[in-house]
Structure 1
Amino acid sequence: MIDELPAGLVDAVRERLASTPGDLTPHRVAEALRDTGRPVGDATVLAVHEALRRDVVGAGPLEPLLGLPGVTDVVVNGSGEVYLDRGDGLERSPVTFPDEAAVRRLAQRLAAIGGRRLDDAAPFVDLRLADGTRFHAVLAPIARPGTVISLRVPRRGGFTLDELVAARTLGEPLARLLERIVGARLAFLVSGGTGTGKTTLLAALLQRVPPGERLVVVEDSSELRPDHPHVVGLEARPPNAEGAGAIGLRTLVRQALRMRPDRLVVGEVRGGEVVELLAALNTGHEGGCGTLHANSAVDVPARVEALALAAGLGREAAHSQLASAVDVVVHLARRRDGTRRVAELAVPVRDDAGLVSMQVAVSVGPTLRLDEGPGLERLLDRLGEGER
């Protein structure tokens, strides 16, 4: 019924209601309809009331999509295109907005709920909503074809490792190998591109940490919610409207080290915090972990080097720290059909010049079959399972 309302009707009622204070009720909607000379049938009143309620509650017309089983992402490309991802790639939804103003209003309202400003002076925002949903928006005309909204939906309770096996993100033998990596307190990075499931896999692995250990999780925007009895989270804070009050990940990593962590976890390493993380993993903080954007496991040393150089750590020092800090990299990839898979495990190896390269220990075939790589023996040695 909402989609069948005459053009401009909802806007006309909205303007009438805005001119006088009061709660949004069907009775007030009916009065506003009479004032505009429009029909006041029960169906029309309820449809207009629902359309307006969506404007002020939750994620508006996106709310039904966010509640669909298995949805991980909902993205809005202007008023006419809304897509969702249920784990098999993006699919277009039937939901649309009446105009650009409606998308902009929703984006600004969600930003305000998160305590942030979104207008022409500050045309983009990235924050976490109260229910854990990650919200990002860029206003038009910076974005085309209109205001762009991206919502990343956290799975309630997260996935277990066994559920990821059932979803064919990885096979049973690889799951058991990853369990041994966690149990042996090896330091590891989960690498991959955007949307490959890095955070999902990391959360599942953290569930396998013994319950007596304390996890201190540092994130730019809180997404990691492992099902573990002892988790403490630290979340970065952006500057306020005056440009003050920012608290970055580097500061939070240093604070986390003073909180007696059994496992230090950096949800997403994408800046200078890589220096503090590597230093921590080199000073007795075993079992630390995090995620890192990279196109392949082989690219991880170059990615770490670039981040460390930007933070003031020289190339040689960055490679030296990486070689002794990280035991294994778990790399995920998104296939052409949209499915996410663990693609390979790799271990760092230093050459004669002291630079690190990654040596594949295990690669995963299309049927989830494991193929041994040249680095497997190194990985087994670190697990204490090498040749005896």
Structure 2
Amino acid sequence: MSTWTQRAGSVGAETASGHGQITTPSELSERLQHILAAEPDLAHDAAALARRVRAEAGVISDVDLLDILRTLRHDTAGLGVLEPLLAQPAVTDVVVNGPERVFIDRGSGLELSSVRFSDEEELRRLATRLAIAAGARLDDAQPCADGRLPRPDGTMVRIHALLSPPAVGGPHLSLRVLRQAQVSLDSLVERGAVPSDIAVHLRELVAARVSFLVIGGTGSGKTTLLSALLAQAPATERVLIIEDTTELAPQHPHVVSLVARRANAEGRGEISMSLLLRQALRMRPDRIVVGEIRGAEVVDLLAALNTGHDGGAGTLHANSLHEVPARMEALAALGGLDRVGVHSQLAAAVHVVLAMHRRADGVREIAQIGLLTGNPVTAQVVWSSSEGPQPGFEDFLRLVDGAHKEAP
């Protein structure tokens, strides 16, 4: 809340406007937004906009003028009253359960913030504006929408909006900040996310061009670990990354990123992950990486990994190693591949799975290393952060060492 808004509220909102009327902060904001809608060029002329604000708000200081301009920008182009929350570097999620319950996640679970909306209508206007900006439709006939919005700082925000009804207690908003993962493996070791001895084996895994998956729940650090490992690939290799949203940014000199695109409100313009995977095969890749495997593209990825493209990788949403075969079955079925086919492809293509976990204190760590063996494929835990090496760990070391000797 701006200084001017606080003062206006404390004195009964008796601010003289340019029209000689009593103006509340909300009335002023609404009037200025109507002016900008009618005169869009005004938003690009800072001096003219400042003069117009003074004319509408009356006698105000320069500090108050800046507060009003900042609030106006947030309300018309940013995230409204949620803007200060998303601006905090540690915030990963903002969820709004009606106008009076706004929560944030800074890495240690959801916390109730002090931010409030004035009423359900203000929240609905923000949700509708964000949905439209993301190329989606949100109204009574289509009460739910999702999409992605770029931020001025280079991050991306994934949004989901649900109106009331069907939501109870007002519209609901869920915002997820998607920051590019650029943390190095050494940094993860320093943070305690990866033990130093395991980091040595992970470097060998990448050098040996062994294909692997990184699994974990939401916000467990899957993308961060994958990005750090891709940075270990030799500088002479060309890494093709395919994502639904740009998140992977490994510190590697030759990375090509391809980003999928959803259909617009008219149902046109979609660019699928499967299409991008097929294009990637024609772009002379040394390694093919899928940022998050979540659909039929798994069929194209397994086919690529079985046709000479060793060293590929991807992330998969799964809570345990033992869920991996079933998850791959379910996703492959979306692409028309039956159970026998997916197990045959998976057994030949992927051998190692790394499981990430976020502890109760918010620390993200590698929790398990597993091997995929047999046909049908089963997952075997060979190392865990709590118990260390398990039966089969020597097989993991032999796999990495053997592949390393065969690697060009």
Name the counterpart of 2:17: none
Indicate the residue corresponding to 1:56 in structure 2: 76
Equivalent residue number for residue 388 of structure 2: 371
Identical positions, percent: 48
Q: What is aligned with 2:328?
A: 304
Structural mapping, 1:137-148, within 5 Å = 137-141=160-164, 142-148=166-172
The CA deviation at 1:385 is: 5.8
Paired amino acid for 2:383: V
Distance 1:247 1:360, change over 3 A: same
Amino acid at match of 2:331: L
**Equivalent position of 1:92 in the other structure:** 112
Query: Which of 23, 37, 59 matches 2:42?
Result: 23
Which consecutive residues of structure 2, in runs of 5 or more, have no partner in the other structure? 14-22, 44-48
* Equivalent position of 2:125 in the other structure: 105
Could you tell me whether the CA contact under 8 Å between 2:213 and 2:354 is conserved in 1?
A: yes
Q: Secondary structure at the match of 1:267?
A: strand
Equivalent of 1:124 in 118, 131, 145: 145
Classify 1:273/1:328 alpha carbon distance in 2 versus 1 (closer, same or farther; 3 Å): same
Separation in 1 of the partners of 2:211 and 2:183? Answer: 21
State the shift of 1:300 in Å: 0.3
Aligned to 1:264, what secondary structure does the other structure show? strand
Structure 1 residue aligned with 2:379? 358
**Which residue of 1 is the match for residue 86 of structure 2?**
66
Give per-residue Cα distances to partners, 1:175-204, cap 9 Å, x unaligned.
Answer: 222111111111000011111111111111
More helix by percentage: 2
Which residue pairs with 2:26 in the alignment?
11
Q: For the residues of structure 2 that align with 1:210 and 1:102, how far apart are their CA atoms?
A: 52
Q: Deviations over 1:34-71 (max 9, x none)?
A: 5xxxxx44365554443323212433333333332333
**Partner Cα distance (2:290, 2:335) in 1:** 16
SS at match of 2:401: coil
Distance of 1:90 and 1:334 partners within structure 2? 14
Give the equivalent residue in structure 2 for 1:134.
157
Match of 1:381 among 398, 402, 408: 398
Is 2:155–2:180's contact at 8 Å kept on the other side of the alignment? no
RMSD: 2.6
Q: Is this contact kept in 1: 2:181–2:224, CA < 8 A?
A: no
- 326, 330, 340: which one pairs with 1:316? 340
Say whether 1:213 aligns with 2:237: yes
Pair 182,27 (structure 1): closer, same or farther in 2 beyond 3 Å: same
Residue in 1 that maps onto 2:313: 289
Alpha-carbon offset, residue 222 of structure 1:
1.8
Structure 2 CA distance for aligned equivalents of residues 63 and 211 of structure 1: 39
How many angstroms apart in 1 are the aligned matches of 2:121 and 2:181? Answer: 35
Structure 2 CA distance for aligned equivalents of residues 310 and 153 of structure 1: 28
Q: Which residue of 2 aligns with 1:37?
A: none
1:333-366 alpha-carbon deviations (Å, 9 max, x no partner): 222333322110100111xxx311111121111x
SS at structure 2 position matched to 1:338: coil
Residue 314 of structure 1, CA deviation = 1.1
What is the aligned length? 375
CA distance in 1, matches of 2:141, 2:358: 36
Deviation at 1:136, TM superposition (A): 1.2
Shift, 1:96, TM fit: 2.5
Q: Is contact 2:136–2:145 with CA below 8 Å preserved after alignment?
A: no
SS at match of 2:73: helix
Q: CA deviation at 1:88?
A: 2.5
Distance 1:158 1:87 in 2: 18
Alignment of 1:180 onto 2:204: yes
Distance 1:315 1:201, change over 3 A: same
Distance apart, 1:144 and its partner CA: 4.4
Structure-1-length-normalised TM-score: 0.88
In 2, the alpha carbon distance for the partners of 1:302 and 1:156 equals 29
State the SS of the aligned residue for 1:151.
strand
Distance 1:166 1:145 in 2: 44
Name the CA distance, whole Å, in 1 between partners of 2:113 and 2:338.
48
Equivalent AA in structure 1 for residue 394 of structure 2? E
